[in-house]
């Protein structure tokens, strides 16, 4: 009784392994997987040449509530501006304008 219930979940989660993925040619989801929306760099869109650490309201929008820096994948910023943003955030942290971390709620 107890053994069966333990075994079944492990077999279902097995396809996460790379070997199992290679065996399956077609995707189980026949419908469209997701609709991608074009991400635009917020800094480019606002035509800001250099991200200023003094503009902390704007810089803050690239951090999580916990104080973590949001990745490029999530915000859609270009590489050049992401570099400037991280620098600005780190500068603001050092100046105690932005937090290094905040406790989770």
**Residue 59 in the binding site for Zn ion (CB under 5 A):** no
Question: 91: which residues sit within 8 A by CB, 6+ positions away?
Answer: 53
**Residue 44 in the binding site for Zn ion (CB under 5 A):** yes
| Identity of the residue, 41 or 97, whose beta carbon is nearer to Zn ion in the bound complex | 41
Looking at 18-26, 32-40, 71-79, 93-101, which segment touches Zn ion (CB under 5 A)? 71-79
Looking at 9-17, 52-60, 63-71, 74-82, which segment touches Zn ion (CB under 5 A)? 74-82
Of 35, 92, 104, 31, which Cα lies nearest the Cα of 66? 104
Whether the CB-CB separation of 79 and 87 falls below 8 Å is answered with no
């Amino acid at each position: 009784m107890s053994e069966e219930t333990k075994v079944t979940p492990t077999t279902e989660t097995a396809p996460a392994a790379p070997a199992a993925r290679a065996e399956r040619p077609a995707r189980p989801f026949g419908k469209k997987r997701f609709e991608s929306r074009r991400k635009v760099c917020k800094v480019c869109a606002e035509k800001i040449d250099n991200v200023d650490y003094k503009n902390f309201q704007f810089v803050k929008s690239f951090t999580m509530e916990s104080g973590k820096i949001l990745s490029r994948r999530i915000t859609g910023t270009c590489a050049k501006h992401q570099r400037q943003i991280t620098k600005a955030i780190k500068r603001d942290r050092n100046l105690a304008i932005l937090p290094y971390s905040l406790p989770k709620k």
